[in-house]
Amino acid sequence: MIDYYDRLESQLAHLTARGAHGRARTWRPTVPRVRLGLVAVVAAVLLVVAVGAVLLSAGTSHRPSHQVTTVRHGPPAVHNYYPGALPPPSGPLVCNADLEPPGTPPGIQRARHGMVFAYDKPPTGSEFTITATGLKPTAGGDVYAVWALPAVSLPSGGYQVIKPESPQLLGVIRPGVGSSGKLAAQGVAPGNIPPVLELVLTLQPHGSVERPGGIVLSGFAPL
């Protein structure tokens, strides 16, 4: 007679054979080389055209080089949908993690807490959502930002940040958090996201995102 443990064995063996564990541990699916090559060629052509246009423009207008207009791209945005609902996920769930204020002991849930979910975003991307409550409303030009710190999972089961000096900005929460103190935001993760990371929500004074501001919430995400 087939029992629970036999069905468990059967399902996990089937998932192993399908390579479900290989896909699950990859934050971003591999882009076919052909496509990467095509993207690289298109990007190179666009770069040449753009540089040429800027040089031509500078040359014909006889303006000093420091007056050449450049387009400055701001940090990526993590769109805050609250009080509306988050859009449906882009793909299968990759992982989720609790977000807690610094120094929160195990088993305790503070008034300020949150969760992060990561999803595949076919064919080449990844998407994450952050929900949180108990946040201080943004004011005076301050913004919330989401950062990723490369980490490793330890044999003991815990996690350890390995490069605290190399935070990666995933985006700035826009619009900011209102008087409800709640957040329901969605953003897109870059391709070079570390496989294991500490995800950190910070409050950035005056909108500056040169380095992480004060940590509001954080949690480890084994991708």
Q: Does 157 bind another protein (CB under 8 A)?
A: yes
Least Å from the CB of residue 22 to another protein: 7
Q: How far apart are CA 148 and CA 204, in angstroms?
A: 15
Choose the stretch contacting another protein; rule: CB under 8 A; options: 13-21, 42-50, 162-170, 179-187: 13-21
Q: How far apart are CA 184 and CA 133, in angstroms?
A: 9
Question: Do 145 and 169 contact (CB within 8 A), yes or no?
Answer: yes
Neighbour-count burial of 149, counting CB atoms closer than 10 A to its CB (0-12 exposed, 13-18 middle, 19+ buried): buried
- Nearer CB in complex with another protein: 15/51: 15
Q: Does 11 bind another protein (CB under 8 A)?
A: yes
Q: How far apart are CA 129 and CA 146, in angstroms?
A: 11
Q: Does 93 bind another protein (CB under 8 A)?
A: yes
Least Å from the CB of residue 170 to another protein: 20
Q: How far apart are CA 23 and CA 121, in angstroms?
A: 13
Judged by CB under 8 A, how many residues of this single chain contact another protein?
36
Amino acid at 206: H
- Nearer CB in complex with another protein: 1/85: 1
Q: Does 95 bind another protein (CB under 8 A)?
A: yes
Helix (H, G, I), strand (E, B) or coil at 128: strand
Amino acid at 116: V
Q: Does 88 bind another protein (CB under 8 A)?
A: no
Least Å from the CB of residue 51 to another protein: 43
Residues that bind another protein (CB under 8 A): 1, 3-9, 11-22, 24-25, 92-96, 98, 106-107, 153, 155-158, 222
